[in-house]
Every structure is written in C-alpha cells, then in structure tokens.
Amino acid sequence: MSHAIALAGRRLPIDRPGAPPGQLAFDALGTPLAEVTFVVVDLETTGQAPGAAAITEIGAVKVRGGEVLGEFQTLVNPGVPIPPMITVLTGITTAMVLPAPRIDAALAAFLEFAGFHSGAVLVAHNARFDVSFLRAASSELGHPWPGPVVVDTLALARRALSRDEVPNFKLATLARVFAAATAPDHRALSDARATTDVLHRLLERLAPLGLSHLEDLRTITDPVPATRRRKSTLADGIPHGPGVYQFIGPAGEVLYVGTATDLRSRVRSYFTAAEKRARIGEMVDLAVEVRAIPCANVLEAQVREVRLIDSCDPPYNRRSRRPARRPWIRLTDEPYPRLSIVRSLPVSELDAAWGPFGSHRQATAALEALEDHLPLRSCSRRLPRLAPQSARSCMAAEIGSCPAPCVGAIDVERYAVHAEAARTVLAGSVEDLVAHLHGRIAALSGSLRYEDALEVRERLRSVLVGAARAERLRAWARLPELVAARPVADGWDLVLARHGRFAGSVHLEPGGDPAAALAALHATAEHVEASGIVGSAATAEETEILIRWYEASGTRLVELAGPAPPIALPVRGAHRWDLPPSG
C-alpha cells in the first residue's frame, strides 16, 4: 500500500499569551477545543461530483492541542484515466495512480487513521465537497459512514473575516493571509497541512466571540449577534453539575430562572445559535449577570427552579408562574350546589375537586364538559331551599339544560342526587364522562362538524388534565413524611418529602451506612407543617416533580411515617387515558 503515516511531534504556532507552551488558552467548558482531536482532510478527485468522478488522493493531518499527532497520505487508483485538466491542476498522472490502492483499501486505512468513532472531528475547506465523496465511497462499498462532527474552515472564514481583509475565501488566499507554514498546491497532504494552519488562525480570530469549546464550534457560523456572543463571559465561573441559574437585569431584577443538569453548558448555550427563541434572545440581550445555585442532584434543582419562579415572578418565564393562583373546579356549599372555578381550595375539599388547571380557559372547558354531562344548575346566584313565587325560569331551564331549582322544578332532596353524582365524578370516577365525550366527538366528526368536534376534544383534554392531577395530589399532599432512595452512578440518593414538599436529600456513597445517612437526612430536612389550603405547603407543580421522582424505575420506599392514606389512583380515574393532542 502506498499510503504513509508519520507520527510527528511538530507543534503548530497557536500558543496564546499567558498559556503554557503548546497549549490553547481556552476555558474548560463542555469539550475544550484544546482537548478535541481534529482530523483535517483534503481530497483530490477526477471531477466535481461523486458518482461521476472518483477520489485520486487522500491527505489528512491529525492534530490536538496544537500538536500534530500524525499525518496520512495515499494516492488512490480510480480505475479510470486521469483527465488531462486534472493532471494540469494537481500534477497527478494516470501512471502515478496505477500502482496505488483502490478506494476500498485506501478508505479503510484512512478511517482507521482518523478514529472518528472515538470522537475525532473532521475538518475540511469547503467540507461539503470532501464529505460528499467520502460518504459516497462508503455507501458504494457498503460501509456505514461514521458521521463525525464536521467543521468547515470556509464557513469559519466567512464568519471571522470581512471582504476588507480578504478578497475571497479560497484556501490559497487564507493560507497567504495567515502566513501558513505550507502553501496549498492542489496535492492532498499539502492542502491538509495548509488547512490545519488556517483552522488554528481562525480559532484565534473567533475566540473573542466566545469560541472556546466544541459545542461553540458547532454553532459559531450561525447568525448570532456579536454583542450576544461576547456576553458568553457571563458564564465564566459557573460550575458544571446540576443546579438553577438566574439571568439578572440591569436593575438587579430576576429576568429568567432555569434549571440544568450541567449549569455551565446550559448557560453557555444561550449565547449561541442553539437558542432560537426570540423572547429569550431579548432577555439575554438585557441581562448583565448570571447567578448559579449548584444543587446536589437534578431533583433539588427542579424544585428550586419552581420555588424561585414562584417567589421572583420573572417576566421572561411563562411556565410555573403564580402557581398559588391556578384554578380548581369544585361544588359550592349551598342547598343547590353548582360547579365553580376557584383560586384557593381547602385540603378538606380535595377529595371532590379537579385541578389545578394551567389556565382559567382550561378550567372553563372542563367545567362546561361536566355541566353538559350532569343535570346541575349553571346560574351563579345563591338559591334558597324554597323558590319564591315570583321566581322566573331562565333560558337554560326553558331549553331543558337546567333542572331549574330556581322556580321549584326540583326540590333539595332530588337535586342532592345529582350533586352526589357530580361529587363522584370529581372524586375520580370519570369513565362515564370520558365515554360521553368520546361519543360526542365521534358523532360530530361523522356529521362533518369538525370544528365542533375539536372543541369537544379540547374539553376532553381539559377534563383529563384536571382530574388526573387531582388524583395524584390527593394522597401525596396529606403524607406527613415519606423517604425513598434511588440508585445513581455513585451510590444512592435519599429524598424526604413532607406533605408533598421536598424537605431534603442526602447522598449515600457505596459502602456507606444507610442508617447514618437516614439519620442525617432527618436531622437536616426542612420542617413542614400540614396546611389547610392546597398548595400552601407545596405547589402542585413541586409535588408532581416529587411524584415523578418517586415513581421512576428503581426507586425504593425506605420509610413512611404517620397515619398516612394509601398512595393509590382510582380504578376508573383519568390516569387510565392518554391525553388527546392539543389544538
């Protein structure tokens, strides 16, 4: 085989002031560029299009941290004569490639050298051209393409340089401008060496825009304002690991709260093209500081996020705001009860209520579904046990959609039967209601009344959301204390919840004393008093976060204290059905 691999200690001139010799002065974040293995590739071919042309030469330079780890070069026998114009351009003749390996052997040797399966990054100038030929060759040979991360120095140059600095972005022009050690000459290895020098000069140029790690390199060519990229320094000093972050505005106000499994990587992403939300982009442009709160685990981070959003009410958060004001549906306490939407619910009424809903509109849709299914009055005035003789019926009574207790059409005892049926549904027996709504959807769709069917489907969705959420909260909100453990990579996480609120957690190292860890958890956990109002001890969203953690596979119950009710869901409850798609 005619290819040659040379391991070399040649160090590229990319050292920065104050950095150790031969090492890039990049901050550690994600995968620092100084730790990335780049395989800089160049191909020579018989033409411009894969399939119509074939590879005649492969050259590559493998480099990491400014040091060349190896070089690869081989001619390739394309199986056809070299066109004269290609010979004039590259100097490669048909005679030169006759003894060279065919593409199957050459490609296998190159891929082994490159090590893309180990995370090496492919670099090329006008990478689309080189990658298209390599992918086509792999496909023709029946080999899977390893799919490495691809960096195009042509795209980087267009991002880093202006037309005032360079007349064009050709490799030869860039090599001359950057004084590359090797001049490109349309031979694969020479061009790969020149591209390597250009790559490192471009990385230096782009560093002030926040280019410091591999994740940045993937997005640096996207159209992100330079002012926003420069703000990436706000992420300096933020640690890795789970936690909560806050974007702070010029007056010290909290603009946005978020959570992350890796704080630094997540915050850093806000200053790249990975963040595409216009509203959040506006927030980032306003921010002058990012504060981080490291947490012991992801669960603690999620809980802290919900609490901070509740307490700070940041303007750029749309989820989780004002949880204490979320609506519920319950029956009123009067001789002729009706369904009512309330913003506060006593714990004593949790057994016959739905919620909390995400919005008043969603609660209204669920209430309308119930009123359509149950013979309850819908008027809002308080009615006496006996209707006055001067009372007049409303339109709802005239069309038969209300039992009309206001005019004495039904007495308290008979109406109480309907009210009890409503309490049964609100307590979790929603099977008949769901079947009724499914039937309405089918009938309306069969009559081609699709808009009406869509409205009923939204009612069904609202019913399932409110009913299922209430089902899960009933037992958990009343649990005085529950401890569970979940295995993690380096031991066990023990979590204690009281009345649906996250009270504390500890980590048990492998081989540690479980009894000591449990004692430490009890000693440091937050004291939580039982509350008479749902959501006072813990918001529904916090309790749901805990429920998901406790119900995850592998979690084990450790301790259940106090006269606790069973943690169970109703047999005919809303949890049995999947939510229909919204909209």
Residue 186 designated active-site: yes
What the block records as the tokens of 284 is 């980032």
Q: How far apart are the C-alpha atoms of 65 and 49, rounded to whole Å?
A: 34
> At 134, is the secondary structure helix, strand, or coil?
helix
Give just the sign of the alpha carbon dihedral 538, 541, 544, 545. negative
The DSSP bridge partners found for residue 38 are: 63, 121
Please, what's the largest Cα pairwise distance for the chain? Answer: 114
Q: Which two tokens stand for residue 478?
A: 């009343």
- Report the alpha-carbon distance of residue 206 to residue 200 in Å, rounded: 10
Provide the pairing of β-strand 150-152 with 121-124.
Answer: parallel
Residue 144 one-letter amino acid = P
Q: What angle do CA 514, 516, 518 make, to 5 degrees?
A: 70
How far apart CA 267 and CA 216 sit, in angstroms, is 12
Residue 265 in 3-state DSSP? Answer: helix
Residue 28 in tokens: 């550690």
Rounded to the nearest 10 degrees, the angle between the axes of helix 540-551 and helix 450-476 is 80
3 state SS of 565: coil
CA 147, chain centre distance (Å): 23
Tokens of 326: 């979320």
CA distance to 2, 85, 138, 163, per residue, from 53 (Å)? 21, 13, 14, 33
Residue type, 190: S
Q: Are 245 and 312 in contact (CB under 8 A)?
A: no
Phi, psi of 251 (to 5 degrees): -95, 10
* DSSP of 188-220: HHHHHHHHHHHHHHHHHHHGGGT--BHHHHTTT
List the one residue out of 179, 214, 219 whose CA is nearest residue 198: 179
Residue 505: what are its φ and ψ, rounded to 5°? -150, 155
Which of these is catalytic: 3, 125, 143, 186? 186
Alpha-carbon span 210 to 227, nearest angstrom: 10
Distance separating alpha carbons of residues 155 and 135, to the nearest angstrom? 20
DSSP state of 531: -
Six-digit token string for 123: 């670099």
C-alpha distances (whole Å) from 473 to each of 423, 526, 565, 569 are 17, 20, 12, 10
Structure tokens at 72: 């690869």
CA–centroid distance for 34 within its chain: 27
Query: Exposed, middle or buried, 105 (CB in 10 Å: 0-12/13-18/19+)?
Result: middle
Cis peptide bond prior to 356, omega within 30° of 0? yes
- The alpha-helical segments, DSSP class H, found in 59-126 are 84-90, 94-97, 103-114
Catalytically active residues are 186
